[in-house]
Amino acid sequence: ARVAVLVSGRGSNMAALIDAARDPAYPAEIVAVISNRPGAGALVIAARAGIATAVVDHKAYPDRTSFDAELDRVVRDFQPDVVCLAGFMRILTDGFIEGWGDRLINIHPALLPSFKGLDTHARALEAGVRLHGCTVHVVTPEMDSGPVIAQAAVPVLDGDDEAALAARVLAAEHRLYPHALALWATGALRLTNGRVTGADAA
Ligand code: GRF
């Protein structure tokens, strides 16, 4: 499967996907990395890995609809089968999301449906949960609420601060995203009534 990755920042999840895809046996190929921020570190990592990059700077567009229209055009130019959001920090319009159907996936740094939105690690510490983690899910118009493809849990330890917990979750993200993308890209999974099935056998 051809995969485009959308980023806004440092790109460590994108790098994990690129690394996984180096294996000829991996079922997906990263064909493009597209950022809404010209200064994103992810662009440097991708270019060094020999992957095509593009920037669609949201500041150059008057509204979300015109930004998303251009983003959609640029992404489609690379003819991806799957689009992965990896630290992409813009809310996408319903129109963009619906145009990709179940071919748009995201990684969220929490065990959904807990801790949707931002500042997940601080909120997990505040809530006193003992397990935290990350989720790869299909993107739907309702934020952080689409069908769950895969999750990984990590413990919350007594001495954790936000940075320590974030680092533990991030390490889990770097294992989970390549795994989940592989499951999704091979067509091993099915969406039935808004739920993902087939991951047990995979
Ligand atoms: C990750 O924690 C991801 O789950 C969240 O934003 C962070 C992006 O980090 N959505 P990176 O750019 O992949 O390093």
CATH code assigned at 145: 3.40.50.170
Residue 200 inside a domain? The answer is no
- For 15, the domain range is 2-189
Complex ipTM value? 0.97
CA dihedral (181, 187, 191, 192) positive or negative: negative
Residue 116 inside a domain? The answer is yes
Ligand 1 nearest atom to the CA of residue 108, by list position: 4
CB atoms under 10 Å from CB of 96, counted, come to: 22
Residue 67 inside a domain? The answer is yes
Residue 202 inside a domain? The answer is no
Q: Please give the tally of structural domains in the chain.
A: 1
Residue 199 inside a domain? The answer is no
CA dihedral (67, 138, 111, 176) positive or negative: negative
Residue 198 inside a domain? The answer is no
Residue 196 inside a domain? The answer is no
**Ligand 1 atom 3: residue of nearest CA:** 87
- Ligand 1 pocket test target in 12, 17, 36, 132 with most atoms within 8 Å of CB: 12
Residue 37 CA to residue 107 CA, distance in Å, equals: 19
CB of 13 sitting under 6 A from ligand 1: yes
Residue 180 inside a domain? The answer is yes
Ligand 1 center–CA 200 separation, angstroms:
26
- pLDDT per residue of the chain (202 residues) written in tens, 0 to 9: 999 999 999 999 999 999 999 999 999 999 999 999 999 999 999 999 999 999 999 999 999 999 999 999 999 999 999 999 999 999 999 999 999 999 999 999 999 999 999 999 999 999 999 999 999 999 999 999 999 999 999 999 999 999 999 999 999 999 999 999 999 998 888 999 899 999 876 6
- Ligand 1 pocket test target in 170, 174, 176, 177 with most atoms within 8 Å of CB: 170
Residue 130 CA to residue 192 CA, distance in Å, equals: 31
Catalytic residue among 58, 108, 132, 137: 108
**Tokens 């485009």 belong to residue:** 4
pLDDT, one tens digit per residue, over 82-128 is 999 999 999 999 999 999 999 999 999 999 999 999 999 999 999 99
Which residues are paired to 86 by β-bridges? none
Ligand 1 nearest atom to the CA of residue 173, by list position: 4
